[in-house]
Amino acid sequence: MKAHRSRLEAARERIGDRIKPTPIDRSETLSRQLGADVHLKMELFQTTGSFKLRGAFNRLLQLSPEAAAAGVVTTSAGNHAQALAKAASDLGMAAYIFMPETTPLVKIEATQGYGAEVHLHGKSFEEAFEAADRFARERGKTYVHGFDDWQIVYGAGSVGLEILEALPDIDTLLCPVGGGGLVSGVALAAKSHDPSIEIVGVQSSHVPGMAESI
């Protein structure tokens, strides 16, 4: 756990001048309804609108000069796409984002707005991923996964470090779960601070992918 903690702190230091420390606000309504002291970590105010920028910067800032010059590739039609595009643009790298052909135009244009080259392939995420993986391998570019990458996890975990600095006596953390990168990083931060902190992952009942997987 100490090794994870040191890597989380290194990630936070690495990305510190690239991201915004977002506010933590006490919710009077939720605190009253739940009979608990409830605070909200406002990552919607992060640049690109989500926590994803943290992991993207942490990953890209550790690329070799050769890898940075070649550019980065990913598959995403959401927040990771925009985060990687923004981070790559800021660092002078080319970003190639693969999305399914069914991706809404607003998401395509948002990603292109950060300077990425968007490729539309297939009808599903899996088909887009296969095309992106092949593109990266054939052209010698780095594929940056949206959550299955320790440097992405450590970058996301900086959210947890900020929470714990503001609320060191917290006893429970509720964290949204998609692919699991955010909750993994936050859990590492929390458990290295106080092993008794309870971590609760939350998913929509309509798309409970992680819950069904385990």
**What is the model's pTM?**
0.94
Quote the pLDDT of residue 209. Answer: 80
pLDDT over 90 (residue 210) = no
Q: Which among 128, 143, 158 is the end of a domain?
A: 143
Quote the pLDDT of residue 3. Answer: 84
Indicate whether 66 and 29 sit together in one domain.
Answer: no
Indicate whether 30 and 80 sit together in one domain.
Answer: no
- For 90-97, what is the mean pLDDT? 98
* Domain CATH number, residue 193: 3.40.50.1100
Which 3 state secondary structure label does DSSP give 34?
A: helix
Q: How does pLDDT run across 3-47, given as a tens digit for each residue?
A: 899 999 999 999 999 999 999 999 999 999 999 999 999 999 999
Q: Which among 143, 167, 197 is the end of a domain?
A: 143
Residue 1: Cβ within 10 Å count: 10
Q: How does pLDDT run across 111-163, given as a tens digit for each residue?
A: 999 999 999 999 999 999 999 999 999 999 999 999 999 999 999 999 999 99
Indicate whether 58 and 139 sit together in one domain.
Answer: yes
Structural domain range at position 92: 52-143
pLDDT over 90 (residue 206) = no
Which DSSP symbol is given to 19? S
Number of domains making up the chain: 2
Quote the pLDDT of residue 154. Answer: 98
Indicate whether 77 and 127 sit together in one domain.
Answer: yes
pLDDT band at 214 (very low <50, low <70, confident <90, very high): confident
Q: How does pLDDT run across 169-190, given as a tens digit for each residue?
A: 999 999 999 989 999 999 999 9
Indicate whether 153 and 128 sit together in one domain.
Answer: no
Indicate whether 83 and 125 sit together in one domain.
Answer: yes
Q: Which among 143, 164, 185 is the end of a domain?
A: 143
Quote the pLDDT of residue 114. Answer: 96
Supply the DSSP string of 57-113, one letter for each residue: HHHHTTS-HHHHHH-EEEE-SSHHHHHHHHHHHHTT--EEEEE-TT--HHHHHHHHT
